[in-house]
Amino acid sequence: MTAARTALVIGGGIAGPATAMALRKAGIEATVYESYASAADGVGVTLTIAPNGLDALKVIGADEAVLGIGQPLVRGQMCDGRGGRIGDFPGPAGLPPSRGLWRDELCRVLHETAEAQGVRIEYGKRLVGAEESPDGVTARFDDGGSATADVLIGADGIRSTVRGLIDPRAPEPDTTTLLNFGAAADIAVPSDRESSYFVFGRRGFFGYWVQPDDRTAWFANLPHDRPLSSAEARETSKADWLARLRERYADDVPCRDILARTEADDLVVLGSLENMPKVPTWHRGRMVLVGDSAHAPSSSSGQGASLAVESAVQLARCLRDLPDPRGAFAAYERLRRERVEKVIDRGNKVNNSKTMGAFAKAMMKLMMPVMMRTVLNPEKTLGPEQRHKIDWDAPVAPPEGAAV
């Protein structure tokens, strides 16, 4: 194969526009194909971009646009639902703070920045199949259209179609019985405006931060008797879900006040949280995965979007420097797999803490001062994740044994 000059990027969430911008910087022309009819609007709740994600955004010239939305979150505070504090988690010293923002706003600014850089984004294009030839790869879309390029990049999220085209035996995400909700409430609960709060309430977990506009952005995980897709969850009215959330958190402060000041129309109903098993095969021939399609950490890691942008940048470096896409994809996997899998493992540990019982929570409170100095030391737990920097200019070495 010869070096890639053109790319089809499937998916216009976070990884898609980031990959297209990084490829353009590497001299590769990329078009993004998104299944939705328009950029995300009101889709998803809050997420965070960690310092490593901001650093990767800087490489592709998108950091300033992202710093123009959301708010800095300097530390996390863990609370018990009775107004008591369990512990404090500042970020590693000397790094810029993480940024808390709404997913649809992040998508919007990434789309705008990509288009301003000359990336073409086509909407209403759902990939349904792909065929390779010696000269390229052709994507087929559900509107009957097709497109051909040197490589095809699956930035199509946790329920990726490209993943199954690369490896028909690839795992699918497991759905959990924890349903995911969020909204912005018309109340500014007492808070330190630079903190995000994680409440381990009597009967559930609840997260929030107070925005500069005096509204409180929140998300909650409601246990349910069976997993529900987002479409199934939306069969129940928002008013009904909000009533159930209010009942669930009736004894927890400030959750009950936040829920009391949330309008049903504003509730975002996302369905079950999903856990993605490790994906054994990231690439085949001219096709490769980037972002959640390859490595979807739990939302508890706070790293999904940041890792997606990092992978976008590393993939573009590899395609820039290695003449054969297969060698480039192997080098990309070598640069990324160990790092993303460590983050996934940490996110899974945090998830377990969200569902722990009353006894474990009481023990955690007692142990917290010791844990803060040892296992929860922010430098030890978050330092390796958040201090990560990518040197765009450094040449990528070919993987061992690769023909160059």
**Residues interacting with ligand FAD, by CB under 6 A?**
10-16, 33-36, 43-45, 47, 103, 125-127, 155-158, 161, 270, 291-292, 296, 299, 304-305, 308
**The length of the chain, given as a count of residues:** 404
Nearest-approach distance from CB 155 to ligand FAD, in angstroms: 5
> Closer CB to ligand FAD, residue 276 or residue 364?
276
Instruction: Give the separation between CA 260 and CA 150, rounded to whole angstroms.
Output: 53
Nearest-approach distance from CB 97 to ligand FAD, in angstroms: 17
Nearest-approach distance from CB 290 to ligand FAD, in angstroms: 7
| Helices 15-25 + 103-116 axis angle, to 10 | 20
Instruction: Give the separation between CA 339 and CA 63, rounded to whole angstroms.
Output: 22
> Closer CB to ligand FAD, residue 14 or residue 151?
14
- Name the DSSP class of 156: -
> Closer CB to ligand FAD, residue 122 or residue 251?
122
Token pair, residue 157, equals 């999220």
| Distances, alpha carbon 118 to alpha carbons 30, 36, 69, 159, in Å | 10, 21, 22, 28
Which residue number is nearest to ligand FAD in terms of Cβ? 13
> Closer CB to ligand FAD, residue 81 or residue 302?
302
> Closer CB to ligand FAD, residue 41 or residue 135?
41
> Closer CB to ligand FAD, residue 39 or residue 253?
39
User: What is the dihedral sign for C-alpha 349, 85, 224, 242?
Assistant: negative
Nearest-approach distance from CB 123 to ligand FAD, in angstroms: 9
Nearest-approach distance from CB 292 to ligand FAD, in angstroms: 4
30 in Cβ contact with 48 (< 8 Å): no
Q: Position of tokens 């844990």? A: 371
Nearest-approach distance from CB 302 to ligand FAD, in angstroms: 8
Token pair, residue 125, equals 């294009």
Amino acid identity of residue 18, one-letter, is A
